[in-house]
Structure 1
């Protein structure tokens, strides 16, 4: 099995990943995991690896989103308003425009994903990034590479520096070949979304993308907005992911 945690760590050192996970994979994860806040973020999912950190961050964001939604429903009941079941949040994060609302059921390439609060277990998030699930780890790594290239700031010289860094990494020929392929031709957003098998993976794909991208570039926000739309993520869940990124 490929050591995808090591691949992501190497990419961060090469400069391919410039966001939160660049610091995490480059050495910042140890302090995050060993701190009290880090231990609470994802329990056993926060192993020492950048991909595992995505799982913990996504789970924490989903918990926050669930608590917020359940609190709003409880408040409506307390005020004597009739409960209509799961209500879509009206507040949107900065990365999403007002016209991006997608009603339930949330269908992605013919599949119905349920992002409703408190319906996805922590174990489901852990399974996506488990070391035995190469497919789950691989799609997160590909999501990070695609996001890092989305801002168009990797010119030919930077690309060559990344390739040289990958060449110097202690990887097998197969692993290097896979990385070179991904770096030369990152997954398109359509291909990435089509590869998402379930709701929890979709949440982690968005978290991984937001973690790796340069959020200071305007095109980055456009990319994340389009990705959230295609993944049909509720706006308030997207907001919770960004809040977790800011506080991690």
Structure 2
């Protein structure tokens, strides 16, 4: 199942239209290598309609903070999460102090061998890391209850229309039916780098932390992932910087 790549295509703009930090026809911020355009062309509706991010927007919700995260993902795809986590991780290892308010200065893609290159990564279950990032986003987005009831049913109806294979479609529908589960997400990473990526995915999915439920979910996730507090500060700073840079 190549769900990570499929969701990357659903969330990104068409590659030949450029992406965050890039030029038309070239991979930009988080530009993914290898067949993304071909995959997108096989999804009904193309990238301009439902497959252009409407599903993501429904999952993340309508709050300002979540909308900014959705825009970031639509511009850079799943690889933007890896780039944000990589930059924060490198600053943390270099013992630099977080610098809130500064514009994002992210690599187009983390280098090979860094532990953040999505094409090389597998989670603890042996699946591609993109799959774990999707799981983390959906779980986090459900943490405040906005995906319960009618909204969840609407999203499941949209998933049925995406033209995905039975395995991919079933996996997405199963995720939508499950409650938020920080413990399940914390069981996925093999490395500290992957744990940082999963936190970034969750933080972007939640956006601005506006409810006690969201704060409790993130706090529990941080504890279960065993992420140091100073690393989390770097991750939060880079998430906010990336959102602001895109909005500028």
| Structure 1 residue runs of 4 or more that deviate by more than 4 Å after TM superposition | none
- Paired residues of 2:3 and 2:131 also in contact (CA < 8 A): no
- Paired residues of 1:13 and 1:22 also in contact (CA < 8 A): no
Aligned to 2:85, which of 36, 49, 58?
Answer: 58
The TM-score normalised by the length of structure 1 is 0.63
Distance in structure 2 (CA, Å) of the matches to 1:156 and 1:189: 20
Distance in structure 1 (CA, Å) of the matches to 2:215 and 2:236: 11
Instruction: Give the total of aligned pairs.
Output: 178
1:105 counterpart residue number? none
Higher gyration radius (CA): 1
Secondary structure, aligned partner of 1:130: helix
1:234 counterpart residue number? 228
* Residue 21 of structure 1: how far off its partner (Å): 3.9
Most deviating of 53-62 and 160-169: 160-169
| Mapping 1:167-206, distance limit 5 Å | 167-186=160-179, 188-206=181-199
Distance in structure 1 (CA, Å) of the matches to 2:241 and 2:86: 14
The TM-score normalised by the length of structure 2 is 0.63
Aligned to 1:146, which of 139, 146, 168?
Answer: 139
1:2 counterpart residue number? 2
**Structure 2: where are the runs of 5+ without partners?**
12-50, 101-110, 243-248
**Structure 1: where are the runs of 5+ without partners?**
30-48, 73-90, 94-120
Distance of aligned partners of 1:192 and 1:24 in 2 relative to their CA distance in 1, 3 Å threshold:
same
1:68-120 Cα distance to aligned partner (Å, 9 max, x none): x2x58xxxxxxxxxxxxxxxxxx9x9xxxxxxxxxxxxxxxxxxxxxxxxxxx
Most deviating of 166-175 and 200-209: 166-175
Distance in structure 2 (CA, Å) of the matches to 1:124 and 1:187: 30
Q: Which has the higher contact order (CA 8 A, sep 6+)?
A: 1
Distance in structure 2 (CA, Å) of the matches to 1:199 and 1:154: 29
* Residue 194 of structure 1: how far off its partner (Å): 2.0
1:245 counterpart residue number? 239
- Paired residues of 2:199 and 2:222 also in contact (CA < 8 A): yes
1:129-162 Cα distance to aligned partner (Å, 9 max, x none): 2177443221111111110101111231111111
Select the structure that is richer in helix: 1
**Over the residues paired in the alignment, what is the CA RMSD in angstroms?**
2.7
Distance in structure 1 (CA, Å) of the matches to 2:204 and 2:52: 13
* Residue 216 of structure 1: how far off its partner (Å): 4.1
